[in-house]
Amino acid sequence: MTVAPARRGRPGHSLDSLLDTAVAVFIERGYEATSMDELAARLGVTKSAIYHHVPSKVELLRLALDRALNALFAVLDEPGALDGPAIDRLEHVVRGSVRVLTTHLPFVTLLLRVRGNSAVESEALERRREFDRIVTDLVRAAEEQGDVRPDVDPAVTSRLLFGTVNSLTEWYRPGRGLDADALADALVTTTFSGLRTTPPSGSRTTAAPVPPEVLR
């Protein structure tokens, strides 16, 4: 697919600030229900100022979804996801995915609401499926190495793991006393304890309690 060339920004709003606002409005109103007029009004600029950055609303959606997807796929290229026993690589990917979610929370939230109603959304869904296939392969490899219980289908395990990760978009709010590492510790402690056949050697410390205000 041909990618539109980057455009130089005008004073007042960068492409990043435009994307932040667009994603917030897309989540609030839905992509289809959001007009460029509304985006311009929310930003306090003219539509032509938006078009100086991007050629269309669909390009805003593509850039937003790519922000989340590229960050997730970058986790798969980290050394911790490439080297060592499959169970450790799987844990690294889960922890990295939590980090991506906390860093790019609105973008991941938007990604999870995509239903394939356009070519851009369909492409994003296919990339999500590719990510899921890679994680499923990791679960299967960990099972073959004897580190994951064999009585649950690897595809089901993968969906359960990342269903838990993705559910964080429903309740996690930054700045309420729980950082990405603590959140990842809590998630790994609760999920991997039922996944592993034996406790890991040199396991991390027990996850810190989740402050009640984080869940409000």
Q: How many C-alpha atoms does 94 have within 13 Å on its Cβ side? A: 28
When the pLDDT of each residue in the chain is averaged and rounded to a whole number, the result is: 88
pLDDT of residue 3: 46
How would residue 214 be classed by pLDDT, with cut points 50, 70 and 90? Answer: very low
pLDDT of residue 71: 98
How would residue 178 be classed by pLDDT, with cut points 50, 70 and 90? Answer: confident
Mind listing the pLDDT tens digit for each residue in 78-128?
Answer: 999 999 999 999 999 999 999 999 999 999 999 999 999 999 999 999 999
| C-alpha distance across the termini of the chain, in Å | 42
Reading the block at residue 44, the tokens are: 């306090």
Q: Decide if 15 contacts 54 (C-beta within 8 A).
A: yes
What CA–CA distance (Å, rounded) separates 111 from 203? 32
Q: Is the dihedral of CA 136, 137, 138, 142 positive or negative?
A: positive
Using the CB atoms, write b or e for 26-35: b if 16+ within 10 Å.
bbeeebeebe
Query: CB neighbours of 199 closer than 8 A, spacing ≥ 6?
Result: 193
Query: Residues in the chain, how many?
Result: 216
What CA–CA distance (Å, rounded) separates 14 from 22? 12
- Report pTM: 0.83
Mind listing the pLDDT tens digit for each residue in 41-61?
Answer: 999 999 999 999 999 999 999
Q: Give burial (CB, 10 Å; 0-12/13-18/19+) of 175.
A: exposed
